[in-house]
Structure 1
Amino acid sequence: MAHEQHTSCIEACYACADACDRCAMACLAEPDPQQLARCVALTVDCAQACRLASAFMARASAYDGAACAFCTMMCDACAEECERHRTDACLDCARACRRCAGECQAMTEFIPRATDVTGTHAHH
């Protein structure tokens, strides 16, 4: 994997985590945040998945592809939920999630088989 794509994915993960944090706080500030409970829960989970994936990539972990696959799944779910709401924070979050999911999807080709894992690997 080209270093530039790795860097681009890490940046997309951090941007998505930040957008998720902003979305969660904006939802909690709404007059009836209980209606947005699923959105808040997904944004918190998604932000955590993004931070996990970016950390795995930064360390060139043998499991970075698997972390990115999980991140892709979380970003897709979060984007779907956020797109249901018409607030600026939710729509910004959905855009960041879609971008991150696309970047992470490209990284999933590096999911190792159990027999291939010896710790860490370098992306070429």
Structure 2
Amino acid sequence: MLMNLNLTSNEKYQKCIDVCLECAQVCEFCATSCLREPDPKMMAKCIQLDRDCADICILSAQFMARDSEFSHQLCSLCAEICRACGEECAKFPQEHCQKCADICNRCASECENMSH
């Protein structure tokens, strides 16, 4: 099977863009859900990381879509933030936190692959 070397910029990044956008959506949902928990103060770090992660994922997707020369560096930072968010979310038993930890780890892996 021949590889198409004339891929448009967003096609070569499409898998990473897709997982970044999914991660941003799940992180936003997790942050909102954490705020509705009986004791949201104990989840403050989770909420903060959810918001940071959602923002960096959106920005990374935008940079990849425009084939920015800084996509690789941004994806490296995105992976770091996703890992931190995933680790924090994994500490909580709530389903929204567990789903968030899963997508954050998947997104981190995809961004690490993209940034090399």
User: Which residue of 88, 97, 106 maps to 1:90?
Assistant: 97
Q: Cα offset for 1:5?
A: 5.1
Gapped regions of structure 1 (runs ≥ 5): 110-124
Q: How far, CA to CA, are the matches of 2:96 and 2:61 in structure 1?
A: 22
User: Which residue of 42, 45, 58 maps to 1:38?
Assistant: 45
Q: Cα offset for 1:84?
A: 0.3
Letter in 2 for 1:70: L
Letter in 2 for 1:93: C
Identical pairs, percent: 42
Task: Provide the aligned C-alpha RMSD in A.
Answer: 1.4
Q: Residues 34-73 of structure 1: matches in 2 within 5 Å?
A: 34-73=41-80
1:75 corresponds to which residue?
82
1:119 corresponds to which residue?
none
Gapped regions of structure 2 (runs ≥ 5): none
Q: How far, CA to CA, are the matches of 1:86 and 1:50 in structure 2?
A: 24
**Number of residues of Structure 1 aligned to a counterpart in Structure 2:** 109
1:84 is paired with a residue whose SS is coil
TM-score (norm. length: structure 2): 0.90
Runs of 4+ residues deviating >3 angstroms: 1-5
